[in-house]
Amino acid sequence: MTAKQDALKQVADALSNHTYFKLICGASFHDVDKINALVQIYAQAGIDCVDVACEPHVLKAVEDAYQLLPIDTPKPLVMVSLDVDGDPHFRKIHVTRSACVDCEACLPACPVDALFMDADHQFQINSDRCYGCSRCLPTCPSDALYFQPTHALPEALLEVLKHPLVGAVELHANHLEITSLQRLFDALGTSLSQKWISLCFRPAEHTADKVNTYLDRFNALCESVQPYGVMLQIDGNAMQADELYQSSLPALAGATALAERWKTRFPVTLSGGINAETARLLEEEAHQWIAGVGMGTLARKRVWHYLDDEATFPQAHAVASYLVGAFKK
């Protein structure tokens, strides 16, 4: 089997064993140096999948990271994130320069150091690093910060989906608009075939009837393109993870609400607020049916300041091994 075929099967096995762990680099996170380091570190910690922005230069960073892995380290399956209908994962912070007072109040709020002051003490944004978490917005005393959505044209998405590393796609649905979902499948067509397809959404924001109708249509559309497999990712406390026990409870509640009808149809995973406490929750008998997790904010935050120097990669690897290992028991 090829490395990609091995990775496709590895994901299937991990979902079946309820030990699936995905590193979420971020649908809008484009810092290639950090992505390269994150992939190296978490691949050696034993992740099954890595979720990245659907951008050629980001895929190049993953490819380069794979070349640096020890030869006996399995390469995680590469998943790219796609926006279905205006999901908040696809946005970046901007500033109204005339309104900014260069006060630095927002700088400590950013978990990826995307906000900084230049040599002239003027506020600046490293757009490659911003992934739209919104922590900075409430700290601004002058309302100078605002979001702009990021969109990729279907032609660009198709080119990325042809990349030999890409074996999975994640569709991020915000409003659960069936017309938008249909439009995306129409545009991407057979490029989704023989890949894992994951649907990420927040069921708590919609009625049960709307969720069930949407998932019925999603299932039918997936069957029409003959994927390798299909999974659901239930998003809870999106892009806001911390170390607290309560952090992943919204995602767990959302998955539980779906369980009766959908857990026998699709593997169900959690994202949004995932931390080591989530692993303890999933050990409880009532939650053992959940197939795994995707961890983004905390996975980056816990190793962030080790990523700039290869000399500190061992410390980062120890942290990553602890986080991943909690879900691999």
Instruction: Please report how the helices 154-161 and 178-188 are oriented relative to each other, as an axis angle in degrees rounded to 10.
Output: 60
Inform me whether the pLDDT recorded for 196 exceeds 80. yes
Structure tokens that stand for 298 in this block: 């905390």
Band of pLDDT at residue 1, cut at 50, 70 and 90 = low
Structure tokens that stand for 82 in this block: 């796609």
DSSP state of 281: H
pLDDT of residue 151: 77
Could you confirm whether domain 3-89+150-325 is CATH 3.20.20.70? yes
pLDDT tens-digit series, residues 87-134: 999 999 999 999 999 999 999 999 999 999 999 999 999 999 999 999
DSSP one-letter string for 6-74: HHHHHHHHHHHTT-EEEEE--TT---HHHHHHHHHHHHHTT-SEEEEES-HHHHHHHHHHHHTS-TTSP
pLDDT tens-digit series, residues 273-311: 999 999 999 999 999 999 999 999 999 999 999 999 999
Band of pLDDT at residue 185, cut at 50, 70 and 90 = very high
Please name which of 23, 144, 3, 121 lies closest in space to residue 79, comparing C-alpha atoms. Answer: 23
How far apart CA 53 and CA 83 sit, in angstroms, is: 10
pLDDT of residue 240: 84
Please name which of 124, 185, 160, 118 lies closest in space to residue 27, comparing C-alpha atoms. Answer: 160
pLDDT of residue 231: 98
pLDDT of residue 71: 93
Q: Are strands 77-83 and 49-53 parallel, antiparallel or unpaired?
A: parallel
Domain edges within the chain: 3-89+150-325, 92-149
pLDDT tens-digit series, residues 18-73: 999 999 999 999 999 999 999 999 999 999 999 999 999 999 999 999 999 999 99
Region 256-263: mean pLDDT is 90
Inform me whether the pLDDT recorded for 156 exceeds 90. no
Exposure on the CB side of residue 115, measured as CA atoms within 13 A = 26
Please name which of 271, 104, 128, 100 lies closest in space to residue 199, comparing C-alpha atoms. Answer: 271
Residues of the chain with pLDDT > 90, as a percent, come to 91
| Residue in this structure with the two tokens 């816990």, named with its chain if needed | 302
How far apart CA 98 and CA 273 sit, in angstroms, is: 35
| Residue in this structure with the two tokens 């994150």, named with its chain if needed | 38
pLDDT of residue 241: 79
Neighbours of 61 (CB within 10 A): 24
Residues of the chain with pLDDT > 70, as a percent, come to 100
How far apart CA 111 and CA 134 sit, in angstroms, is: 10
pLDDT of residue 154: 75
pLDDT tens-digit series, residues 310-321: 999 999 999 999
Q: How many residues in total does the chain contain?
A: 329
Could you confirm whether domain 92-149 is CATH 1.10.287.180? no
Same fold, 3-89+150-325 and 92-149: no
Band of pLDDT at residue 189, cut at 50, 70 and 90 = confident
pTM: predicted TM-score of the whole model, two decimal places: 0.95
